[in-house]
């Protein structure tokens, strides 16, 4: 069987070479461009302006017909995977699929954001983006594991090459966090410090008599630093080296979930949904969540990684109706090099 398809238009993008297109774990596709349809297909765009996002089906037209690999190691992982479990261009039928943001229409031309195609790429079809699958039910397969390993490697390197007192997020004591925790959870509370790593919050909680403390961090080295600092008292703490979005808590439930600057690193909606799903499963009814992120007036990056800024309202929307906002406070953190970083600290109650 032979199937023949003809382009309905072409992509205009800032990318002339494949090397210019962001790739790999955490790659952000923010480039703008246009989808320029041939004049005879312009009427097919009628009423498209009402949609926020579009599927674009296109062709990898610069590959030869026999240029594909059924099993290969993609740039996002060192492990081999099947081509149909990937977005590799080297596939039996050279079809590409991209979701773009629709910014506007000018006749037969669509202005879009999120371009990841080369300039001049043939467009085969355009469809409105619609999904009935809740974000917390989406699974990212091997890609989630690869992203976790990449992040773990990043943070391992940070704590292996820098002194704890030199990292920008260092503070001798997290007084605001301690106050927010103590206001709603006493020493008998089951407390987890997500992203606690090498922070001294665990020391101060133990000093105040908290007996059921868990510290989770993606960096095993960061946890090791805390254990070494605590000495014999480290045995009184549960330590978990894991990615919070995918870790198996084995049914454990917490009365207080504390997160100082992990959530804002979750730039992918699926990762945020997975995080919130963990909150729903593992924060006890009536329990509390204390989350600090960079505020709308804060930095846009941390440790070289892109973050998402929040205010109380946008953070509440992310957590959903299972968590009621109790209060929010603007916090200014002074880094070791005397730079002011603006955070928003929000406290929620599990409904």
CATH assignment of the domain containing 87: 2.40.30.70
**Dihedral, 78, 79, 84, 86 alpha carbons, nearest 10:** -30
What's the pLDDT score for residue 68?
Answer: 87
pLDDT value at residue 26? 61
Rg, the chain, Cα only? 24
Taking each helix axis as running N to C, give the angle between helix 269-282 and helix 312-319, from 0 to 180 degrees, rounded to the nearest 10.
Answer: 70
Query: Where does a domain end: 95, 130, 165?
Result: 130
> Does 82 map to a domain?
yes
Q: Are residues 87 and 211 in the same domain?
A: no
Q: Are residues 164 and 123 in the same domain?
A: no
What is the spatial distance between Cα 184 and Cα 190, in angstroms, rounded to a whole number? 12
Asked whether residue 185 is domain-assigned, the answer is yes
Name, in order, each residue with C-beta under 8 angstroms of 303's C-beta and a sequence gap of 6 or more: 154, 155, 158, 167, 168
Spatial distance between the Cα atoms of 264 and 294, rounded to a whole number of angstroms: 7
Chain centroid offset of residue 298 CA: 18
Domain end call among 101, 130, 159: 130
Instruction: Kindly report, residue by residue over 144-199, the tens digit of the pLDDT.
Output: 777 777 888 889 999 999 999 999 999 999 999 999 999 999 999 999 999 999 99
Which is nearest to 348 in space by CA: 215, 250, 258? 258
Domain co-membership, 245 together with 346? yes
| 325 and 221 share one domain | yes
**Are 82 and 123 found together in one domain?**
yes
Whole-number Å distance between alpha carbons of 289 and 212:
16
Task: Output the pLDDT for position 24.
Answer: 66
Q: Among 130, 154, 180, give the residue marking a domain's end.
A: 130
State CA 162 to chain mean position distance: 24
- Please state the length of the chain: 351
Are residue 124 and residue 146 in the same domain, yes or no?
Answer: no
Q: Residue 330 pairs with which residues in a beta bridge?
A: 344
Residues 20 and 124 in one domain: yes
Structural domains in the chain (count): 2
- Residue 3 included in any domain: no
C-alpha count within 13 angstroms, C-beta hemisphere, residue 153 = 8
Residue 2 lies in a domain: no
**Domain extent for 282:** 141-350
Query: What is residue 12's predicted lDDT score, i.e. its pLDDT?
Result: 97
Instruction: Report if residue 1 sits inside a domain.
Output: no
Neighbours of 259 (CB within 10 A): 22
pLDDT digits (tens, 9 = 90+) for 244-267: 999 999 999 999 999 999 999 998
Q: What is the pLDDT of residue 130?
A: 87
Q: Are residues 184 and 92 in the same domain?
A: no
In the chain, DSSP assigns E strands to 9-12, 32-37, 53-59, 71-72, 81-82, 95-106, 109-113, 122-128, 190-194, 212-217, 237-241, 254-260, 283-294, 301-302, 305-306, 323-334, 340-350
The reported pLDDT for the residue numbered 320 is 95
Q: How high is the mean pLDDT of the chain?
A: 92
Whether 135 is covered by a domain: the verdict is no
Distance CA 159, CA 303 (A): 11
Query: Do the beta carbons of residue 54 and residue 112 sit within 8 Å?
Result: yes
Interatomic CA distance for residues 312 and 327, integer angstroms: 8
Distance CA 198, CA 203 (A): 10
Residues 225 and 270 both lie in one domain: yes
Indicate whether 253 belongs to any domain.
yes
CATH code, domain with 328: 3.40.50.150
Q: What is the DSSP string of 108-157?
A: TEEEEE---S-TTPEEEEEEE----S-GGG---HHHHHHHHHHHHHHHHH
The list of the chain residues with pLDDT below 70 reads: 24-27, 135-136
């Amino acid at each position: 069987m032979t199937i023949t398809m003809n382009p309905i238009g072409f992509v205009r993008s800032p990318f002339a070479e494949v090397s210019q297109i962001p790739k790999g774990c955490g790659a952000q596709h923010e480039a703008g461009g246009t989808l320029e349809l041939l004049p005879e297909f312009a009427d097919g765009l009628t009423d498209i302006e009402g949609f926020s996002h579009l599927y674009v089906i296109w062709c990898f037209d610069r590959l030869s017909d026999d240029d594909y690999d059924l099993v290969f190691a993609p740039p996002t992982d060192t492990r081999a995977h099947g081509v149909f479990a990937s977005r590799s261009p080297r596939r039996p039928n050279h079809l590409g699929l991209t979701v773009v943001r629709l910014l506007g229409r000018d006749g037969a031309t669509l202005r879009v954001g999120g371009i990841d195609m080369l300039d001049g790429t043939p467009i085969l079809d355009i469809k409105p983006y619609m999904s009935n699958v809740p974000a917390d039910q989406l699974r990212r397969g091997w890609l989630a594991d690869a992203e976790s390993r990449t992040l773990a490697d990043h943070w391992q390197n940070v704590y292996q090459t820098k002194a704890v007192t030199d990292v920008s997020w260092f503070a001798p004591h997290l007084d605001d966090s301690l106050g927010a925790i103590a206001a709603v959870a006493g020493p008998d509370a089951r407390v987890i410090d997500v992203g606690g790593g090498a922070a001294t919050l665990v020391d101060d909680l133990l000093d105040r008599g908290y007996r059921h403390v868990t510290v989770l961090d993606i960096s095993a080295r960061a946890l090791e630093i805390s254990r070494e600092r605590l000495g014999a008292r480290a045995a009184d703490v549960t330590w978990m080296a894991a990615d919070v979005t995918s870790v198996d808590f084995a049914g454990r439930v917490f009365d207080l979930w504390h997160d100082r600057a992990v959530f804002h690193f979750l730039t992918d909606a699926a990762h945020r949904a997975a995080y919130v799903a963990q909150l729903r499963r593992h924060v006890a009814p009536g329990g509390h969540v204390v989350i600090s992120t960079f505020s709308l007036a804060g930095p846009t990056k941390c440790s070289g990684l892109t973050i998402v800024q929040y205010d109380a309202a946008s953070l509440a929307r992310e957590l959903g109706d299972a968590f009621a906002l109790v209060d929010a406070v603007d916090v200014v953190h002074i880094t070791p090099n005397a730079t002011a970083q603006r955070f928003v600290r929000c406290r929620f109650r599990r409904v």
